[in-house]
Amino acid sequence: MLINRKSLLVALFGMGLTLGMSANTYAQAQGGAQQQQQQGGQPAAKDIDEASLNKFKDAFAEVNSIRESFAGKLENVEDSKKAQELQQEAQENMVSAVEDAGLSVQEYNQIFAAVQQNPELQEKVLGDQ
């Protein structure tokens, strides 16, 4: 039985918007539970420097690329276990992309939250696309 389209969309939505949740699992597995507990509120737009925003833009583009790549792979998956494995692989790749861009997952999620709430930041992040 093919995974239905609704399930696929839910899975992709989850992968794209809950990087923080999967990253929390990853961080706990890596011993980072304390760091997550100490996480403060999201930074205000003025608190995000250009260097961090540029790192975020790079990470965001790569995370979206990974999401799109795995969406294609998930379309033809018939086995739910295989779909879960692909989702896990995608999440791990997303975490690596964030870290390779020079941000921690916590920093990425904080900037992501600030971008969602601030049209000026949205323009800076998405304006070039």
CA angle 73, 79, 84 (to 5 degrees): 65
pLDDT tens, residue by residue, 108-125: 999 989 988 888 888 888
How many structural domains does the chain have? 1
Question: Which pLDDT band holds residue 21 (cuts at 50, 70, 90)?
Answer: very low
Q: In terms of residue numbers, what domain contains 26?
A: 5-126
pLDDT tens, residue by residue, 98-108: 999 999 999 99
The closest alpha carbon to 12, from 83, 60, 81, belongs to: 83
Which residues, including other chains, have CB under 8 Å from residue 123's CB and lie 6 or more apart?
none
Across the chain, mean pLDDT equals: 74
